[in-house]
Structure 1
Amino acid sequence: MAKRIIQRLFPNHQAVKEHKALRFLGRWLHDPSLWHLNRRSVAGAFAVGLFMAFVPFPAQMVGAALLAIVFRVNLAISVALVWLTNPLTIPPMFYFAYLVGTWILGSPAPHDGNFHLTAAWFQAEFSHIWRPLLLGSFVVGSTLAASGYFAIRMLWRIHVVHRWRQRLRRQHPDNLS
């Protein structure tokens, strides 16, 4: 059921292959594993997408697409999951990553209350926050990627076992309870 929903939501892979903005990827887009919806491909796509969502740089979608090609996982899911970072979620996500980075490095997080989400503040403070932000982003992104990968594989397995049991019950209703 989820597979059918995903297939309806995402664009036709032939249209994506022929899109003129993606022509630079050439023959790499013709790898069938980029378009399959199976346990390995979807779980890997979740790992790529969740990791790239925590990369604090622009062009996360391009990075997700390139990693999907390298790891040969579902391209559409990898790129779509990057949209977890959007204007509403970026501040709490990267602040959490920053706090994780300060905790790992053992450096205190600033609590002076002079936080202003402006370009000038960011330029002035970047030299102080870049190490914990990058380290925290890597740790949180890697942790979520691994968690997402194993969660999808487990949920996919549970779904398959459930479907097999339903099929057996329909075929042999008197033998199974």
Structure 2
Amino acid sequence: MTLPFDNISPSRMPRKLIRKYMPDEAKLKENRHLSWLGEYIHDPNLWHLTRKSVCKAFMVGLFCAFLPIPAQMLLAAILALFIRSNLPISVGLVWITNPITMPPIFYFTYLVGVWLMDLPAQAMEFELSVDWLSSGLSHIWQPLLLGSVICGIVAGILGYFLMQAFWVWQVNRSWKRRRKNNSNKNQ
């Protein structure tokens, strides 16, 4: 019995799995919204799917996802350029905080910040308006920012090491399958 990945080198297994969900590199390079990156966008290291670049991308993307700022994707792209992580994965992971997940995530980071600063949590109604942003946010921005940065660092580090472990596990699993298939063929 042959498995679908028998003809693929075991070290390429995680790459094949990740590449399945990645956007097209050529389309991203031609995107007019990314033109501000200039020649940096053509650096092949930003597009390779290696264990190192993918793990760093998880660290960057998860860290930026927890930041309560409007330009999370931009910051993730800049950090990806700076530390040479995979650009599409770094930017894509920012979408963990989306309009549905944002309220519970940022409420949690606010509570972490309140706990770290040893402050009482303030109960307030959230209202998406300029008035609330100018008055309501001014009372909670310090614990929110502290909690967000701490949670982002923890999530980034966890993401880095969990992706390292997943990559190694996937390669080992693939090698075991290959050895088992080879021993079955020889019998």
TM-score, normalised relative to structure 2 = 0.85
Higher relative contact order (CA 8 A, sep 6+): 2
Question: What CA distance in whole angstroms lies between the structure 1 residues aligned with 2:168 and 2:100?
Answer: 33
Residue in 2 aligned with 1:26? 38
Residue matched to 1:92: 104
SS of 1:9 mapped into structure 2: coil
Superposed CA deviations along residues 58-116 of structure 1, whole A, max 9, x for unmatched, are: 111111111111111111111111111111111111110010001001111114xx423
- 1:33: how far off? 1.5
Of the structure 1 ranges 23-32 and 46-55, higher mean CA displacement relative to structure 2 is found in: 23-32
Whether the aligned pair in 2 keeps the contact of 1:115 and 1:121 (CA below 8 Å) is no
Partner of 1:123: 134
- Identity over aligned pairs, percent: 46
Matches of 2:62 and 2:23, distance apart in 1: 20
Instruction: State the distance in 1 between where 2:105 and 2:73 align.
Output: 17
User: What displacement does 1:170 show?
Assistant: 2.1
Q: Which residue of 2 aligns with 1:139?
A: 150
The equivalent position to 2:69 in structure 1, one of 54, 57, 69, is 57
How large is the Cα RMSD of the aligned pairs? 1.8
Cα distance in structure 2, aligned partners of 1:118 and 1:17: 35
Contact 1:49/1:81, CA 8 A, preserved across alignment: yes
Greater CA drift, 120-129 or 154-163:
120-129
Q: Give the partner amino acid of 2:89.
A: I
| Contact 1:49 1:78 survives alignment (8 Å) | yes
Alpha carbons 1:52, 1:64 under 8 Å: kept = yes
> How many residues align structurally?
173
Cα separation, 2, equivalents of 1:31 and 1:102: 42
Q: In 2 relative to 1, CA 16–164 (structure 1 residues): closer, same or farther, beyond 3 Å?
A: same
Residue aligning to 1:170: 181
Write the letter of the residue equivalent to 2:84.
R
Cα 1:118–1:23, aligned 2, differ >3 Å: closer, same or farther? closer
| 1:50/1:141 contact within 8 Å kept | yes
Unaligned runs of 5+ in 1: none
5+ long unaligned stretches in structure 2 = 1-12
